[in-house]
Structure 1
Amino acid sequence: MNIRDIVNRDLVNLANCESEPIHIPGSIQPHGFLLGLNAETYSIEYCSQNTVDHIGIAPDAVLGKKLSDLFDQSQSDRFDEYADVEIDVARPFVFTKNDIPYNTTVHQSGETLILEFEPFPDGSIGLPDLYAQTRNFVSLMEKHSHLQDLCKDIATEMRKITGYDRVMIYKFDAEYNGEVIAESKREDLNSFAGQKYPHTDIPAQARQLYIRNQLRLIADVNYTPVPLLTREKENVSNSSVDLSLSVLRSVSPIHLEYLRNMGVGATLTISLLQKDRLWGLIACHHYTPKILPHYTRLSALLQGHFLTSQIAVREVAEEFEVGQIVEKALSDALSLLHQNDNFIEDYFREPSLLKVANATGFVIYYKGKLYQNGSVPEPEYLLPLLKTLSEKYPSEGLHTERILDVYEEGEKVAKYAAGFIYHSITAGTPDGILWLRKERRETITWAGNPHKAVVVNEDGVTRLSPRKSFELWMEEVKNKSTDWRKAEIHAAASFAYALQKHINLRYVKSQEQSNRVLNEELKAANKELANLNWISTHDLKEPLRKIQIFASKILDREKTDISAQVKDSVERMRFAAEKMQLLIEDILTYSKTGNMDKVYESVDLNMILTNVQDELSEIIEEKNAVIHTEVLPTLKVIPFQVHQLFVNLVSNALKFSVQDTNPVVNIQLKQVTASQIPDSKGPAQQPFYAISVQDNGIGFESEYATRIFDVFQRLHPGNKYPGTGIGLAICKKIMENHAGYVDAKSEPGDGATFTVYFPLEQSS
């Protein structure tokens, strides 16, 4: 029988180091031995060369045999049952040979069942006290509120459990550079706390293995690898066995050389994962060879799981602390914004604007003027930055901690703006808002020069060599600020969005004031219809046209650069503008017809009310409103006008709701006579349908019950209840067109009831 090894002897060099096949080394560490069984037949197809050292049987007498040929039949039978239903790394099977017990961990690799045998290091099982370990961890968890403090005590606890000379907890950054954030060590050892290690120390394929196999043991860095052997077969390569999940898997020669250069004799590494990503490592170092018993390893792994369970919780808690601060600042800033029309000009120096993002500088650029707060660059440097950002990011937000990543001239402003959060105010203009952070020059302490050394061996082949020096190596980082936290980024975006709405509302208000003046000038001709005609033709149609054009430009030109959320918002904006423009056109058409014959249709008012509720579904859902309605009649009406009538009445009931109270709207029907209608001019006994819309909102003073239907009459000026003041005037005009009436009854705090009266002879 021809036997050969499957050792991977590919040379690791500069060209292939990042893809070194460390999962298929073809060899193992010598403190145990390995058998590879065919998963179907349980025939031994692979074995390590050191079987004779452990069980006294040479590889040629092992390969091709069954387990019952190596161990007694009772052990083989019990293993068959174990492999069928009980394979569990936490509970290894125990084989005994020559009175020596072996913990045997089992896993499947492709078509091969891998059995790894390790003799008990001290001859006993040594089960850990899991209750005491869990109790200690809970005590530490309650003791500390910050993650780093918890890590320090976990490192100490891990060292007690394992007995290693040094235990370190690494945390990786976005580029997988590692930093020692906690350490427990022998008193005579130098501390590694705070030192950083470059991402090249743990290549990408090694990180993947740390994710798949969360515990890794090297018992002696100076071990001699033991080859895996197999029988040669015709037309079958048997080139490799994937040992990714193996306990005994041999280690990359580069990594072993790295550890020897550090003076380390043995290691234990436990992975810390978050969302399937390697967050960090618990790295245990011993300065002489050390074999850790299986159950002690599991105890250490449990400690790693404990810590992993707390990482997200503690990071969220720390983020929450920051979030509370910025939310308070955001609330203060928004309160000022909503209460002051001239916020930009009068309140741009408010401290809360800096605290919204914990920034050192704040800038608004609006209509060619800079409004500056805190530490900011000179205008000659700031204006080019704003111009560049408005061109590159016209419709999206941006944040960075490294200004040179997005702005080539960044060194000129890095002192005050090494990091920033930017939002455009008006697309297509340089108008924008910036939160700035000063440069934080930082000296990073690397554990040795972070660049891999390149050496040429005796054959003249260039290869990678791990660092031989771990003396501290300092690197100064410039043009960088502290990182922006999620809460700060979100708060800045919220304020920027509110500022955009504020500016738009200021524009609308200025237009509204202009319209008031125009209304006075045109009152003699036709106080209401002429004014609506003028607004529709000039003041309102043009802004709506611009909104549609700008929205279309954003969707057509920038659609690949904007998020789905922004795209959806712009689509809604365009749809709303189109709908409003259609309504204005309808009103304009109606006003122009004057005394022309009206086109009435027989319409079920229940259908109209259903359509109205569909149209207002978002605000109904947002306010958790409840609308109760009785069955309404079928009338001959002008459909679009009656639809608008109910839209105005129901939306007002929802708009003027009491804070923290769910709106309840009751729509009721009854039959009355003209004598029961205020200001009725018809015969006293003429029958009418009275449809009332009653709400539980804020109400209003009864003295406004008549004035509220005049054009541009608003009882609540300001931003809390936005509107133009023509909605109820339109309702009154619609009822006049239907030979009907409308009135209102209310008291402050008791809600309001609006009643519309349709003459009965219009019923179908």
Structure 2
Amino acid sequence: MGTDKVGTHPAADLTNCDREPIHIPGAIQPHGVLLVLREPSLTICQASENTQDLLGVAVKDLLGQSLEKLLPPEQVASTRESLLSDRLEDNNPLKLSIQQGSGGSRQFDGIAHRHQGRLFLELEPSTEQKDLPFFGFYHQARGAMSRLRDAKDLHALCMEAASEVRRLTGFDRVIIYRFDADWNGQVLAEDRMEDADPYLGLHFPASDIPRQARELYLLNLLRLIPAVDYVPARMVALPEEAQGGPLDMSFCVLRSVSPVHMEYLRNMGAGSSMSISLLKEGKLWGLISCTHVSGSRYLPYEVRTACEFVGQFMSSFLPTKEGYENYDQRIRAKSIQGRLLERMTRGLDFAAQLCQSPPELLELTGAAGAAVYFNGRTTVLGKAPSDEQLQGLFRWLASRPVSQDIFATNCLLKEYPESEEFKDVAAGLIAASMSRGRHNYVLWFRPEVVQTVEWGGNPNKPVDVQDDQPRLHPRKSFALWQETVRGKSLPWEDYELEGAEDLRRSIIDIVLERSEELLKLNTELERSNVELDSFAYAASHDLKEPLRGIHNYASLVLREDAAALQPTNRTRMDTVVRLTQRMESLINSLLHYAQVGRMELSLRETDLNEVLASVLELLKPRIEEAQAEVRIPAPLPPARCDRVRMMEAFTNLITNAIKYNDKDKRWVEIGSRQEPELGTVYYVRDNGIGIKPEYHDAIFRIFKRLHGRDKYGGGTGTGLTIVKRLIERHNGRLWLESTPGEGTTFFFTLGGETAPPATVRPPALEDLR
């Protein structure tokens, strides 16, 4: 037992195992013979060098000869038909009598397959029936199928499978081994002889089964090593065949085993071994691992086939049996998801709805904290990283080269080293991506949990140094070894990941539905705006003529008949003239506002410094009269805009800055700044009377004035309304910041898309309880 980690020599590490070409060893296990045949002549172009021992013919005498010369005449036709069949594997095993050099014959099981244009034939000496523990494939598999089918859960399934395989094979130990997300394994079930060391519950490191070995487990569902002390039989090839490169033996039963793996088995005390792949939904889930400590153990093809069938039959039950383990939790997750979906549909801000109390967003995945990041706005719930840390995490997620709908890890530190700062709240992470373009996410967090893991031997000693030379070795001890693991959270369960995926799909459906509704509303609004603009233009244009007639006739009466009018009537006529003048001014403003919405903009790259100079020259008399100081801290960057309309926007903003100012020393500042989210932001700032926060929206409504009709020089109340519309026509945005009594700053962009991001933090969970 211990927690000390032993360093490795710099010239050798675990990746050496991952790079070992175990599919092209150039040799086989010598309990059988491997022949490579050329079709359709069945000429032997490669053979293992042990043919003399098993076939009675030297390999040099076999190469270039037809397989048919080894067969008795009565088997030639049937063997040829079987080997040249399109459904080759269906004929395995071929029962062959191979003529021996002395004139006799020997019985072999022939196992054939095709790979990369080659026909492989593996010959294993047939075993007499009396030596088999059980005989006949169906007899051996029928009972196993029934017992596996009746297993009530995953634990019972694993225990039954281990017991069944040991019964079929007679191995001293059979274990069921499941891989985790990092390819470490854990023993879930075991059937062993009484005096063997128990492995149940132990973990085994991913380095025990390197990457390319796992890939071969997907190709070959069963792997047998009858004796760990065998001497490999080298493959020999015809000269022209050898030029084709190393022989790929990925599908060969007899393929020789890595020397490192043989040393691993010897360190375990195993005399032979067998492994059966367990697949779940096409991926390697685990292994049935068999070892024999009593010596060598060979299993004939029929028994191996029965064991492989047990493995496939067990694999078919893995999804349902694992599902039974967490059935109650899955049902509860579905209920929580339904309530969250109902919440999201109740309000426009689904992120805020998700993060309301009670904290069911956390309960869905068993998380301690969560964050919803949508369109630049972050809403958090429970224990989560700081705003700055979250922004860094969002950027990292968006920069990941492989886009995943759901990214989950219980060791974020391994993927994102910067998370060391907040592992106390987010050592584990689920990130559900809600869109492809804008990188919107729902995140769930789990804190670090210090754990003790029980390994079957020290997993951190892959290398010994002998005579100052590094050599990769498997560990020599498989006794219990405990390790304290930090930087990890509790693992995410499958049903928790399924809950996150289901919620992600629900959010996307809601967003798409609302986008369609918004598109429809925008279309209607655009049509209504066009109609309103047309109406406003027509109405204001048509109203001007009768209004002008009223004004003219009233003025004529005052000019010609003023003396005959009573004082009261003369006052009334003066009021009519004054009101018609004001109404004409309002109609002109409305007409101009309508024209702003209808006009075509002439967009081109424009020097705004020239635009500003023209505006200041035009306003020079008013600026001098007000004795106002104009400040321009730095030249304005250019923009793609309509030059005439931007002159109008600047004129209105600067005029207002001078007009609404009661200071003795007035000043107005025009400048720009760069912001990460918005790009270039232009501003007009003054030291005037300011605007109270409750009026920040009202000032942009047409004909809305915050002061008396004639105060601060009067006006129709359309200036800022027109400026706002001009900026929006440039696909920009206008907003303000103001302090009453101190001044106001109007900001605007040209071509910007979004407002500055905001972070909303509801009360902590402790407050909600």
Structure 1: distance between partners of 2:20 and 2:93: 30
Query: Could you tell me whether the CA contact under 8 Å between 2:354 and 2:361 is conserved in 1?
Result: no
- For 2:202, the aligned partner's letter is Q
Query: Could you tell me whether the CA contact under 8 Å between 1:90 and 1:298 is conserved in 2?
Result: no
Q: What secondary structure, in the 3-state scheme, does the structure 2 residue paired with 1:330 have?
A: helix
Query: Could you tell me whether the CA contact under 8 Å between 2:344 and 2:353 is conserved in 1?
Result: no
Q: What secondary structure, in the 3-state scheme, does the structure 1 residue paired with 2:88 have?
A: coil
- For 2:73, the aligned partner's letter is Q
Query: Could you tell me whether the CA contact under 8 Å between 1:264 and 1:286 is conserved in 2?
Result: yes
Query: Could you tell me whether the CA contact under 8 Å between 1:349 and 1:372 is conserved in 2?
Result: no
If asked which structure has higher relative contact order (CA below 8 Å, sep 6+), I would say 2
Deviation of 1:451 (Å): 3.2
Structure 2: distance between partners of 1:394 and 1:109: 42
Structure 1: distance between partners of 2:344 and 2:115: 63
- For 1:475, the aligned partner's letter is E
Corresponding residue for 2:664? none
Query: Could you tell me whether the CA contact under 8 Å between 2:12 and 2:463 is conserved in 1?
Result: no
Gaps of 5+ in 1: 1-10, 501-562, 599-764
Confirm or deny that 1:119 pairs with 2:120: no
- CA 490–141 in structure 1, closer or farther in 2 if over 3 Å, else same: closer
Structure 2: distance between partners of 1:14 and 1:419: 26
Structure 1: distance between partners of 2:367 and 2:517: 32
Deviation of 1:130 (Å): 2.0
**Counterpart pick for 1:440 among 449, 469, 473:** 449
Structure 2: distance between partners of 1:597 and 1:134: 94
Structure 2: distance between partners of 1:393 and 1:66: 61
Corresponding residue for 1:308? 315
Q: What's the TM-score once normalised by structure 2's chain length? A: 0.58
Corresponding residue for 1:206? 213
Structure 1: distance between partners of 2:54 and 2:478: 38
Deviation of 1:212 (Å): 1.5
- For 2:475, the aligned partner's letter is R
Q: What secondary structure, in the 3-state scheme, does the structure 2 residue paired with 1:88 have?
A: helix
**Counterpart pick for 1:481 among 486, 489, 494:** 489
**Is the radius of gyration larger for structure 1 or structure 2?**
2
Confirm or deny that 1:589 pairs with 2:533: yes
Confirm or deny that 1:249 pairs with 2:251: no
Corresponding residue for 2:292? 286
Pairs within 5 Å for 1:624-703: none
Q: What secondary structure, in the 3-state scheme, does the structure 2 residue paired with 1:444 have?
A: strand
Pairs within 5 Å for 1:747-762: none
Deviation of 1:170 (Å): 1.6
Q: What secondary structure, in the 3-state scheme, does the structure 1 residue paired with 2:255 have?
A: coil
Structure 1: distance between partners of 2:50 and 2:372: 74
- CA 114–439 in structure 1, closer or farther in 2 if over 3 Å, else same: same
Corresponding residue for 2:96? 95
Q: What secondary structure, in the 3-state scheme, does the structure 2 residue paired with 1:44 have?
A: strand
Structure 2: distance between partners of 1:465 and 1:346: 52
Q: What secondary structure, in the 3-state scheme, does the structure 1 residue paired with 2:89 have?
A: coil
Query: Could you tell me whether the CA contact under 8 Å between 1:27 and 1:228 is conserved in 2?
Result: yes
Query: Could you tell me whether the CA contact under 8 Å between 2:355 and 2:361 is conserved in 1?
Result: no
- CA 266–422 in structure 1, closer or farther in 2 if over 3 Å, else same: closer
Query: Could you tell me whether the CA contact under 8 Å between 1:13 and 1:463 is conserved in 2?
Result: no
Corresponding residue for 2:428? 419
- For 2:196, the aligned partner's letter is L
Corresponding residue for 2:149? 141
Q: What secondary structure, in the 3-state scheme, does the structure 1 residue paired with 2:483 have?
A: strand
**Counterpart pick for 1:451 among 451, 454, 460:** 460
Structure 2: distance between partners of 1:357 and 1:307: 29
Confirm or deny that 1:356 pairs with 2:364: yes
Q: What secondary structure, in the 3-state scheme, does the structure 1 residue paired with 2:278 have?
A: strand
- For 1:444, the aligned partner's letter is V
Corresponding residue for 1:81? 81
Q: For residues 221-280 of structure 1, give each alpha carbon's deviation from its aligned partner in whole angstroms, at most 9, with x where no partner exists.
A: 0011122233446x9636532222112121111111111111111011111223443222
Deviation of 1:114 (Å): 2.2
Query: Could you tell me whether the CA contact under 8 Å between 2:268 and 2:478 is conserved in 1?
Result: yes
- CA 175–392 in structure 1, closer or farther in 2 if over 3 Å, else same: closer
Query: Could you tell me whether the CA contact under 8 Å between 1:385 and 1:407 is conserved in 2?
Result: no
Query: Could you tell me whether the CA contact under 8 Å between 1:403 and 1:410 is conserved in 2?
Result: yes
Structure 1: distance between partners of 2:75 and 2:59: 20
Deviation of 1:103 (Å): 0.9
Q: For residues 550-588 of structure 1, give each alpha carbon's deviation from its aligned partner in whole angstroms, at most 9, with x where no partner exists.
A: xxxxxxxxxxxxx9x999789757744642441331342
Query: Could you tell me whether the CA contact under 8 Å between 2:151 and 2:160 is conserved in 1?
Result: no
- For 1:272, the aligned partner's letter is L
Deviation of 1:167 (Å): 0.8
Q: What secondary structure, in the 3-state scheme, does the structure 2 residue paired with 1:313 have?
A: helix
Structure 2: distance between partners of 1:434 and 1:35: 56
**Counterpart pick for 1:464 among 462, 472, 481:** 472
**Counterpart pick for 1:264 among 236, 247, 270:** 270
- CA 301–12 in structure 1, closer or farther in 2 if over 3 Å, else same: farther
Confirm or deny that 1:299 pairs with 2:306: yes
Corresponding residue for 1:62? 62
Gaps of 5+ in 2: 1-10, 99-103, 400-404, 543-769
Deviation of 1:393 (Å): 6.3
Structure 1: distance between partners of 2:373 and 2:107: 77
Corresponding residue for 2:112? 106
**Counterpart pick for 1:240 among 233, 240, 246:** 246
**Counterpart pick for 1:327 among 326, 334, 340:** 334
Query: Could you tell me whether the CA contact under 8 Å between 2:429 and 2:443 is conserved in 1?
Result: yes
Q: What's the TM-score once normalised by structure 1's chain length? A: 0.58
- For 1:470, the aligned partner's letter is F
Structure 1: distance between partners of 2:392 and 2:464: 45
Query: Could you tell me whether the CA contact under 8 Å between 2:34 and 2:47 is conserved in 1?
Result: yes
Q: What secondary structure, in the 3-state scheme, does the structure 1 residue paired with 2:248 have?
A: coil
Q: What secondary structure, in the 3-state scheme, does the structure 1 residue paired with 2:290 have?
A: strand
Q: What secondary structure, in the 3-state scheme, does the structure 2 residue paired with 1:65 have?
A: coil
- For 1:451, the aligned partner's letter is N
Q: What secondary structure, in the 3-state scheme, does the structure 1 residue paired with 2:109 have?
A: strand
- CA 472–89 in structure 1, closer or farther in 2 if over 3 Å, else same: farther
Q: For residues 124-179 of structure 1, give each alpha carbon's deviation from its aligned partner in whole angstroms, at most 9, with x where no partner exists.
A: 686435256334433432331x3233112111111111111111122222232222
- For 1:95, the aligned partner's letter is L
Structure 1: distance between partners of 2:300 and 2:34: 17
Deviation of 1:181 (Å): 1.9
Identity of aligned residues (%): 32
- For 2:230, the aligned partner's letter is Y
Q: What secondary structure, in the 3-state scheme, does the structure 2 residue paired with 1:143 have?
A: coil
Corresponding residue for 1:601? none
Confirm or deny that 1:21 pairs with 2:9: no
Confirm or deny that 1:154 pairs with 2:154: no
Structure 1: distance between partners of 2:83 and 2:500: 57
Structure 1: distance between partners of 2:82 and 2:57: 24
- CA 321–583 in structure 1, closer or farther in 2 if over 3 Å, else same: farther
Q: For residues 516-573 of structure 1, give each alpha carbon's deviation from its aligned partner in whole angstroms, at most 9, with x where no partner exists.
A: xxxxxxxxxxxxxxxxxxxxxxxxxxxxxxxxxxxxxxxxxxxxxxx9x999789757
Query: Could you tell me whether the CA contact under 8 Å between 2:48 and 2:235 is conserved in 1?
Result: yes
- CA 566–50 in structure 1, closer or farther in 2 if over 3 Å, else same: farther
Deviation of 1:119 (Å): 1.5
- CA 397–44 in structure 1, closer or farther in 2 if over 3 Å, else same: closer
